[in-house]
Chains A and B, each alone.
Chain A
């Protein structure tokens, strides 16, 4: 498919000549670079609560963002109206960042190389509503059927289609149609009507369509998992407090990597010298057992993109190799200023936002240990199977992530479930204590949302079973 067949050309009649003229307007007061980001986002969601479908919603958003770079400076403006006058006006506002004679826009665009990582599908409102209702209804029923102690269930299905078009003053042209779908199920359990309720949650999806939930990960899969977690919590004891050995299960616990190292390796923080990892490329920052990758090219994953939000193809970037720090995640601006190349990591929440270096899917490569040997090697510690979220202070490097399902390990065996607890560590130090890495790498189910400077983007994580000899657990059982 060529540009003339693409969404914005077809629906709004945008031509290459239009794009050149908007970019010229953006560089009319000088500047090194300008780009345009057109976005059309159609969303839909359905929610079930207390056994009935209570909510159904759709939305349509449209707009264009104009950016001008001049040295370290960024000028930005946007419009939710795609008329030529409004786009030109936004371009003139963005241009105010520069002061000088106009810069030249390259004539003629070259279409950027891009991956083919997800299905080209219909917009949500163009496909049937009845199938969506069936999904949440199945989830509700399966969670209730899992155990008679489940007494409240909420199920949600949401999907979206994002059409993007990026054009830059150095002649790059890129467009993409990006699907996203997600199911989430929350369940409450209690022993009897007077019992203390416990909560369980499970969800997943990716750059997939409704079919994924019919054929691969069914509503029943997520529903039973949410119900199971709530039931497990009925018997949970207080989590320990203080330093102990921690074993992370495979999959979603990979959020450790996202918080402990991923954010600290985003180039903007390192260019400014404010990350705990600044100036550490080539140094040992983790145990030699650790190789950490950020890969935006895995098919259908939540964090994957054919092209990033600056129109560059995404890549598989090695962040840490055998414990040694290899490189940063670069966007256009930081790459220009650091005399480096974009790593396809420029992302933004939408047309109202300035792009930044961000993660895609961040995971650790599998090691050689059998997961059962890892658990057997621990005298006393905790095993964390599922996490809620996390946060990092990139300057000190301190990070926190919160376990929602974990167990005590006693004499090499997983024993009692423990209540939710935070795990605390320091980014450049924590992974040095990794002493065993499992052969069971798993990626998460696809529910991650990463926040940075007020912008949310979907991400993925993954990790094999990993043993960390020392980490601080923030429970209450001192």
Chain B
């Protein structure tokens, strides 16, 4: 047993000795590194590690939580006592408690969340990747003469969890990422964009040159934007913006929002809520991905959950608490930092890929928006109202014609889900939320004029 897991188990036992009827304890440690390069020069280097512990106790059905960065025996003792003290002021909650014993466990199989290649990287090599990515972007075009810089980050960590129902488990994770933010300038217009690649092992990273080239292309195509007239038109979301939009759906299927009636999907299980071409899955068991883990943050095995199947809502995402409130079973989506009552978080939450290529999707639009950036998006999960600032390219007669910015797109998520008429084949897992390119048949685009 590792030191982290020993501390977690000991803290759990100590809580019971001091009067808790149940307890669960999380320990985490991590080492972070980042190197930043700007205008070909090293700009910053950061390297450090930290550890933390958190506990949640139950005294009957009253809960209390605390956390600390002091992992000495004294620090842990103070943490346990603080949680017990806090359990005295919360109310008896009939739904509070640890998971049912039969739900505790870990997903089987090798999840490949940790790779030695990340921990053994040389500092100079990491700096060189950032330098190369930025150099490629700067060399791509004479209009790119400035940059906000490039960075290489890496992280290795461990998470251990134990509870008083006999569960204990731990896992290690690694990740590394390379990104660059070039600034393009032309005729008084200045625009930036970025590209980012990240992976759990070094070999899965895109090359520095590919990251630099992609970032440069993205910044360049935003130059000299126009502000199109206000209108209703089809909108194509590229994977990066589609993923952000999918994040809003994640909030709407969160079991916490469902039991509070604060989601427009409350009470819709089994009903058609989206276009029949839309299938949304949450899967915490796909090897090597950022949303994977053997068990969730209350010790329930990760799994694959069909959320929307061909337009029909099949499941919410649930932790033990929201499942009990709704008379359902947990889907292994408990999520929390080190302590506190668990919330709900995704495994790998994604839209299943369709058949059509991105170019064919664009070719099918006579007049519409291809959105490459969303800023300041607001989605009201209660009503489904959605509105966001946007930038992108205008589609004329099936081709990307010119850059547009200073516009917004708006609609209602209920209708937008129904209006997904095409789904691209270009699904890539770049973070725990992933989507291929999607086409929404009609949204309101606010721009020039009324």
Contacts and interface: CB of A to CB of B under 8 A. Distances in A.
A152 B391 contact: no
B192 A476 contact: no
Interface in B354-372: none
B44 A422 contact: no
A50 to B, nearest CB: 8
Interface stretch (B63-71, B202-210, B304-312, B429-437): B63-71
B448 interface: yes
B86 A58 contact: yes
Nearest to B340: A57
Contact of B388 (A72, A259, A274, A474): A474
B340 A55 contact: yes
Contacts, number: 261
Interface in B28-68: 38, 41-48, 50-52, 54, 63-68
Contact of A241 (B38, B86, B410): B410
Nearest to B388: A422
Interface in B123-166: 123, 146, 148
Contact of A478 (B54, B93, B230, B405): B230
A272 B146 contact: yes
A401 B339 CA distance: 33
A333 B373 CA distance: 31
A425 interface: yes
Nearest to B87: A56
B408 A54 contact: no
Contacts of B89: 46, 53, 56, 129-130, 132-133
A106 interface: no
Q: Which of B69, B446, B450 has the most CB of A within 10 A?
A: B446
B174 to A, nearest CB: 19
A399 B341 CA distance: 36
Given A389-B376, A395-B190, A398-B391, A241 B446 contact: yes
Q: Which of A75, A77, A96, A478 has the most CB of B within 10 A?
A: A478
Interface stretch (B7-15, B275-283, B377-385, B392-400): B377-385
A58 B447 CA distance: 47
Given A80-B69, A472-B408, A354 B44 contact: yes
B378 A242 contact: no
Interface string A403-446: 00000000000000001111011100000000000000000000
A252 to B, nearest CB: 15
Interface string A380-392: 0000000011111
Interface residues of A, number: 81
Contacts of B268: none
Nearest to B46: A76
A422 B341 contact: no
Contacts of A56: 63-65, 86-87, 89-90
B116 interface: no
A402 B448 CA distance: 18
A389 B389 CA distance: 12
Interface string B436-450: 000000001111111
A472 B51 CA distance: 47
A477 B260 CA distance: 29
Nearest to B448: A243
Given A80-B50, A475-B410, A476-B411, A53 B90 contact: yes
B260 A420 contact: no
B231 interface: yes
A244 B408 CA distance: 14
Given A57-B66, A63-B50, A272-B38, A76 B45 contact: yes
A420 B70 contact: no
Contacts of B47: 76-77, 93
Contact of B70 (A62, A354, A396, A476): A62
Contact of B408 (A151, A196, A272, A424): A424
A478 B46 contact: no
A184 B304 CA distance: 35
A93 B48 contact: yes
Given A54-B63, A73-B44, A80-B51, A188 B261 contact: yes
Contact of B44 (A74, A188, A244): A74
B191 interface: yes
Interface residues of B, number: 83
B187 interface: no
A4 to B, nearest CB: 24
Given A60-B67, A61-B69, A402-B387, A352 B375 contact: no
Q: Which of B52, B65, B91, B410 has the most CB of A within 10 A?
A: B410
Given A78-B50, A395-B190, A389 B378 contact: yes
A390 B405 CA distance: 16
A125 B85 CA distance: 10
Given A76-B45, A188-B260, A424-B408, A240 B148 contact: no
Given A60-B69, A420-B378, A422-B387, A474 B63 contact: no
B48 A352 contact: yes
B190 A276 contact: yes
Interface string A187-211: 0100000001111000000000000
Given A274-B148, A476-B411, A478-B232, A78 B48 contact: yes
B444 A475 contact: yes
B44 A152 contact: no
A65 B292 CA distance: 32
A54 B64 CA distance: 9
A199 B54 CA distance: 32
B383 A422 contact: no
Contacts of A125: 82
30 contacts: A52-B90, A52-B93, A53-B89, A55-B65, A56-B87, A60-B70, A62-B69, A63-B69, A73-B45, A75-B44, A80-B50, A152-B261, A239-B410, A243-B448, A244-B450, A272-B148, A391-B389, A398-B405, A399-B389, A400-B375, A400-B389, A419-B380, A419-B385, A421-B387, A422-B388, A424-B446, A425-B406, A474-B387, A477-B444, A478-B446
Please list the 7 inter-chain residue pairs (A to B) with the smallest Cβ-Cβ separation, ordered nearest first: A474-B408, A400-B376, A400-B389, A242-B230, A242-B450, A391-B376, A56-B86
Interface of B: 38, 41-48, 50-52, 54, 63-70, 75, 78-79, 82-83, 85-93, 96, 123, 146, 148, 183, 189-192, 222, 225, 227, 230-232, 260-262, 339-341, 373, 375-376, 378, 380, 382-383, 385, 387-389, 391, 405-412, 444-450
